[in-house]
Amino acid sequence: MSRSKAAPEDPILGPLQDLRRAVDALRPHLDTADQKADLFLIEDAIARLSQPLPEMSGGLGEFDPSRLGHLLDLTGPDLAVELLARLTEDLLATQDALESGAANADWKRLREGSHVLISLAGSVGALSLQAMSETLNAIAHRQDGDALDAVMPPLRGELAALIRLVRATRPPNGTAR
């Protein structure tokens, strides 16, 4: 029997099925409202764990390579090396600032970092990252923790993808980095 080239089954699905069966077996033995409420929380957690993870590092959603190309053309081959190095440094520093700001609910740091990222992402053509950065900036102004939790995973993924792209970019005319 030949196996198809379909994606492998998620390794957590089997254990989650086992957990569902255990919950079903436990249910008839629970008497109090507190016990039943706790069981509901377990079922809710199982349901959340069964959902696919949000895309965190797959790549840039909307990207216009002509913008980065235009910047490289403007600087020329000799200065393009410096541009790419500075861009990488700025993106890494912004990534650190946003991670620290998100971890500590440091709204000022999030406002500052998102403001920088709006400019960086827009100038190189990372349009969806630019839009997420604008959203993050508004979230930081509102100090909305729930919205912050929702926007950070996809923003992290796109920012990491942009950093990889910039690092992999070679200056025009084959100049070595």
Domain boundaries, the chain: 13-50, 65-174
Distance (Å, whole) CA 80 – CA 100: 30
Give the pLDDT of residue 52.
62
CATH fold, domain 65-174, is Four Helix Bundle (Hemerythrin (Met), subunit A) (1.20.120)
pLDDT of residue 9: 66
Q: Is the model's pLDDT at 5 over the cut of 70?
A: no
pLDDT at 44 over 80: no
What one-character-per-residue DSSP string does 70-139 give?
HHHHHHHHHHHHHHHHHHHHHHHHHHHHHHHHHHHT-HHHHHHHHHHHHHHHHHHTBHHHHHHHHHHHHH
Q: Tell me what pLDDT residue 2 has.
A: 37
* Token pair for 49: 């764990």
Identify the band that residue 47 occupies on the pLDDT scale cut at 50, 70 and 90.
confident
pLDDT value of residue 13? 83
Instruction: State the pLDDT confidence band at 117, using cuts at 50, 70 and 90.
Output: very high
Q: Which of 152, 153, 176, 161 is nearest to 124 (CA)?
A: 161
Mention every residue, 6+ apart, whose C-beta is less than 8 A from residue 140: 101, 107, 108, 110, 111, 114, 148
Among 66, 168, 75, which Cα is nearest to 124's? 66
Q: pLDDT tens digits for 59-98?
A: 788 999 999 999 999 998 889 999 999 999 999 999 999 9
pLDDT tens-place string over residues 158-174: 999 999 999 888 887 65
How high is the pLDDT of residue 127?
Answer: 96
Q: For residues 53 and 127, which has the higher predicted lDDT (pLDDT)?
A: 127
Instruction: Check: CB of residue 109 under 8 Å from CB of residue 117.
Output: no
3-state secondary structure of 31: coil
pLDDT at 39 over 70: yes
For 18-29, what is the mean pLDDT? 93
* 176 contacts 157 by C-beta, under 8 angstroms: no
User: 3-state DSSP call for residue 67?
Assistant: helix
Among 9-18, 51-60, 69-78, 138-147, name the most confident range.
138-147
Which amino acid does the sequence have at 118? I
